Structure 1
Amino acid sequence: MDWDDLKIAHAVARHGSLSAAARALGSTQPTVSRRLNALERRLGVKLFEREAGGLTPGPLLTTLLEPLDEMDELAGAVERRIAARDTGLKGTITLTSLAWFGDDVLAPLLAQFCIRHPDVIIDLINDPRRFNLSRREADVAVRVGNFDQGDLVERKVADVSYGLYASETYVRRHGQPDFARKGADQHVVALNPSPIKVVPIEWLKAMLPRAAIVLRTNGVQSHVAALEAGEAMAALPRVIGDRRPGLVRFATPIPEPSQPVKIGVHADLRDTPRIRSVIDFLVQELKLMAPELNPAP
């Protein structure tokens, strides 16, 4: 059997849909569908039950999932060792981060790095998904918060603090937030609900439990757009909010929260020259940015 075809079936089983598997594999939904159909024709059996909620592994594939997991892990180890070979400061680095941190903080720094090292190409993927570094979905991850993967080497490089903001237009319309009234008659933009604890969500809830949530979104830029339109208040990273003319930061009864910024890399790749070099560069530059990322209250 061709491992590339089995990998398609394994990814669909792991992610539950053709489109999610395609994203994880760096492919397209039609390609994944076509290759899965071809594999099923060669085997003469349907590997999945097609249901309204997605694809469920059938009896044969269910018996294959454990060995496929082992094959996937071994293939990942081979890929990591090949990627870790000493090729000097050249090659491609796939780096993932949250959209706002990647756009506003990392992108200018990584551009500087690539100018200094023209043989290195960085693919910056700004996405809230937690990419699996063991499976080489990315080489390096920069996250606000903690990692939950056990085979990584991680390093805290900064802290990011948050503030409560609104536009001058909003303040003229609605006045300063009344914290004694828990935000009654006020409007806020909130982050989408998350299964894990998100510091800005908890902080906003604690201060303004009676405020009307006019929009939920997973993007900081959409928060900023709603604020600049004068429609609501929101918790923003201070490195974003303090740079925006026309936004007002409020003094709050609960101290402004902060979260750690961490860089993670798989242990097999940490000594690869291009990986080591970009990590050392980001550590140095983010330390210099500490007053912007975590300014004094």
Structure 2
Amino acid sequence: MRFCMDWRAVKFDWNRARAFLITAEEGSLSAAARALGMAQPTLGRQVEALQEELGVVLFERVGRGLALTPSGLELLDHVRAMGEAAGRVSLTAAGQSQSVQGKVVLAASEIHAAFILPGFLAKLRQSHPGIEVEIVVSSRASDLRRREADIAIRNFRPVEPDLVATKIRDVPARLYATPAYLERLGSPRLPYDLRNADFISIDGSGMFLKGLVAMGLPLTERNFPVLTESYLVMWELVKQGVGIGILDGSIGDAEPRVVRALPDLEPLMFPIWLVAHRELNTSRRFRIVFDLLAAELRARGGPDAG
């Protein structure tokens, strides 16, 4: 039976609809509760209330997860469209604000959040004390269209047509280690001299290894006895002399406890992009933060930065 509802007769509660939408996208109440930052029982009550309100069953349990019923599948398209419309309304409202007071959410990786944003925020707080900043630190790209963040620092060019992006520069990523560790390796000068070195891996997929091999290093999986997905942890391990790591050259060169391993080796280049939603360009405070952060990121480029 096709799901049909007289929407004019329903007093629709967006909070319940959002609970349904995120539960459908996440596949379980527990995952949806984490995504929304609320207690699972509260979320469950909202979903149950929506089902009672509409008089239909929206989910059925499959193993430990939830699957949409035919009625739930049909409702999903309507609610998703409502969510996108709500996001556009929020973006438009934010974009029309000309106040230099208010909140701006910045999304960045932990390295950028730890080494770049503190200095930038110190300057921003002095020049524009009315702007409040929330920093979202994540290894995944925040969804700017859903307002998970207003401005994001990324290492790839966005493809979404409703996002605007400015390429800041290409960053040289270089190998670093403590002088004592390099001495134990015999003070290597050529890529072959690192054949027995220990590297701190930050990628379990093997792409990091492939990238280093492409740079001419004769390495295998045995050269990566330590793995962490945290760049901050990797960098601390490097500073403690555990092995060799790779990092943004402007950050690595500023650390007195380490030196470049094979300083003549060509760096691995990666881009830095600053991204925001297109509609936020009409907001004065977002424009201020975007332009000042872009200037800060450009200023951090050394003489060999692209």
TM-score normalised over the length of structure 1: 0.86
User: 1:15-94, aligned counterparts within 5 Å?
Assistant: 15-29=26-40, 31-40=42-51, 43=55, 45=57, 47-52=59-64, 54-94=65-105
Superposition deviation, residue 167 in structure 1: 1.9
Give the conservation status (yes or no) of the 8 Å contact 2:60–2:69: yes
Is residue 2:187 matched to residue 1:179?
no
Q: 1:164 to 1:2 in 2, by over 3 A?
A: same
Give the conservation status (yes or no) of the 8 Å contact 2:171–2:305: no
Match of 1:209 among 203, 206, 219: 219
In structure 2, stretches of 5+ residues that fail to align are: 1-11
Superposition deviation, residue 295 in structure 1: 3.9
- Give the 3-state SS of the residue equivalent to 1:155 in structure 2: strand
Q: Distance in 2 between matches of 1:46 and 1:64?
A: 8
Superposition deviation, residue 209 in structure 1: 2.8
Q: Distance in 1 between matches of 2:41 and 2:166?
A: 39
Match of 1:156 among 150, 158, 167: 167
Q: Distance in 2 between matches of 1:165 and 1:12?
A: 44
Larger radius of gyration: 2
Superposition deviation, residue 154 in structure 1: 0.6
Is residue 2:22 matched to residue 1:14?
no
1:238-289 deviations in Å (ceiling 9; x for gaps): 2222222221212267520222211111111112000111111112222222
Match of 1:114? Answer: 125
Match of 1:224? Answer: 235
Q: Distance in 2 between matches of 1:7 and 1:161?
A: 42
Instruction: Please list every run of at least 4 consecutive aligned residues from structure 1 whose deviation after the TM superposition is greater than 6 angstroms.
Output: none
Q: Distance in 2 between matches of 1:219 and 1:29?
A: 29
**Which stretch of structure 1 is more off in the superposition, 99-108 or 205-214?**
205-214
Q: Distance in 2 between matches of 1:46 and 1:86?
A: 38
**Which stretch of structure 1 is more off in the superposition, 16-25 or 232-241?**
16-25
Superposition deviation, residue 112 in structure 1: 1.6
Q: Distance in 1 between matches of 2:186 and 2:73?
A: 59
Give the conservation status (yes or no) of the 8 Å contact 2:191–2:262: no
Match of 2:176 among 146, 151, 165: 165
Q: 1:164 to 1:105 in 2, by over 3 A?
A: same
Q: Distance in 2 between matches of 1:172 and 1:48?
A: 62
Q: Distance in 2 between matches of 1:66 and 1:241?
A: 48
Q: 1:169 to 1:251 in 2, by over 3 A?
A: closer
Give the conservation status (yes or no) of the 8 Å contact 1:238–1:295: no
Superposition deviation, residue 231 in structure 1: 1.9
Superposition deviation, residue 107 in structure 1: 2.4
- Give the 3-state SS of the residue equivalent to 2:170 in structure 1: strand
1:161-208 deviations in Å (ceiling 9; x for gaps): 111112233223333456237x4332111122469xx7x664324324
Q: 1:114 to 1:17 in 2, by over 3 A?
A: farther
**Which stretch of structure 1 is more off in the superposition, 257-266 or 169-178?**
169-178
- Give the 3-state SS of the residue equivalent to 1:232 in structure 2: coil
Give the conservation status (yes or no) of the 8 Å contact 1:48–1:61: no
Give the conservation status (yes or no) of the 8 Å contact 1:24–1:137: no
- Give the 3-state SS of the residue equivalent to 2:144 in structure 1: coil
Q: 1:5 to 1:111 in 2, by over 3 A?
A: farther
Superposition deviation, residue 218 in structure 1: 2.1
Q: Distance in 1 between matches of 2:15 and 2:99?
A: 29
Q: Distance in 1 between matches of 2:218 and 2:75?
A: 51
1:54-84 deviations in Å (ceiling 9; x for gaps): 4433333222222222111111111111111
The one-letter code of the counterpart of 1:45 is V
Q: Distance in 2 between matches of 1:36 and 1:258?
A: 47
